[in-house]
Amino acid sequence: MAQIVKATDYNLNLCKQALVNSQVIAVPTETVYGLAGNALDEIALHTIFNIKGRPLYNHLILHTHSIKNAEKYASFNPLARRLAEQFWPGPLTMILPKKDIVPNLVTANLDSVAIRCPQNPTFLTLLERLPFPLAAPSANPFGYVSPTTPEHVNCSLGDKLEFILDGDDCAIGIESTIVDLRNPDNTKILRPGPISKKALEEAGGTLFEQAKTASKDELRAPGMLKSHYSPNTPLEITTLDQLKRLITSKNQSAFAFIFQKRPDESLYQKASNIYWLSENGENMEIAHNLYQLLRATDALNYQRIYIEDIIETEGMSVALKDRLSKAASQ
């Protein structure tokens, strides 16, 4: 198992030394935990792909501590600068033309790079101490649910890592919004996330197209693959009415039920196979709990997990619906 280390000065230096020596460590971000290595070091990059079991055609996000630093690795246009000023540090990843210094392994030979400046204070402090940016995919085995606690990382990748930098539970709990800004006249949201289409359009003063989920052949971003972020137990999305019918059915104890708490549901509170996605129906709370619940129920050998559907309106609900459908498609 890896050592989960608090962000003391001593431990931050330990992490820095490990990274300088081409090692890979797990780091906290406000979205999900990342598997981080020196983005300019091919040995570290290969290690990330090996630990994650990720095919080399999947590009990695480059994490930096400031807009100024980011400009060393990507060519910013005025729109990208405006969005960075508005949303960084924060859960927005921008696809921009890459500069030569970025290794092709980071970008899977594309001439664009995905870049973001994260908000988690522990991760930012670490980035500020480093003379290089960090490449970091989510710290889960390829295709599995992203981790939102240090324990999640330890559970699935702990035997392959020396350190997990502890930054508590991820404040947001689902991955960043990814926008393609290579052409400011044709901007696309490649992965919906915590920064909504409306917020992007207001800040950018331009419309954003929501890109469709890609098939395996036309893969642009693995986050766009239909089957991604999935638990091993079959997961089925149901309506609240269906859930209620199932809960009272005969062999219901073989199943896990995940839904939002409502005042009239106190009835079911005692059953051990019932889990609350939220106490109050707020999307921020659902995002914070979603991956934790999927991982927790997946570990308990249920035959199937039933989860209440997300009503997709605007903002976070779009991202939640996206992650839920990906988790449920096998």
Residue with smaller CB distance to Mg ion, 23 or 176: 176
Q: Which two tokens stand for residue 255?
A: 């199943």
Binding site for Mg ion (CB under 5 A): 138
Q: Which residue is nearest to Mg ion (CB)?
A: 138
State the minimum distance, in angstroms, from the CB of residue 292 to ligand TXA: 16
Buried b (16+ CB within 10 A) or exposed e, 284-318: ebbbbbbbbbbbebbeeebeebbbbbbeeeebbbb
Q: Is 59 in the site for ligand TXA (CB under 6 A)?
A: yes
Q: Total residues contacting ligand TXA (rule CB under 6 A)?
A: 27
Q: Is 192 in the site for ligand TXA (CB under 6 A)?
A: no
Q: Is 34 in the site for ligand TXA (CB under 6 A)?
A: yes
Distance (Å, whole) CA 194 – CA 79: 19
CB atoms within 10 A of CB 148: 29
Q: Which two tokens stand for residue 292?
A: 């934790």
Distance (Å, whole) CA 91 – CA 179: 11
Q: Is 114 in the site for ligand TXA (CB under 6 A)?
A: yes
Q: Is 113 in the site for ligand TXA (CB under 6 A)?
A: yes
Q: How far is CA 291 from CA 175, 231, 310, in A?
A: 11, 9, 14
Q: Is 122 in the site for ligand TXA (CB under 6 A)?
A: no
One of 23, 112, 187, 230 touching ligand TXA (CB under 6 A): 112
Q: Is 61 in the site for ligand TXA (CB under 6 A)?
A: yes
Q: Which stretch binds ligand TXA (CB under 6 A): 110-118, 195-203, 277-285, 288-296?
A: 110-118
Instruction: For residue 75, report the phi and psi dihedrals to the nearest 5 degrees.
Output: -90, 115
Site residues for ligand TXA, 124-183, by CB under 6 A, read: 136-138, 175-176, 178
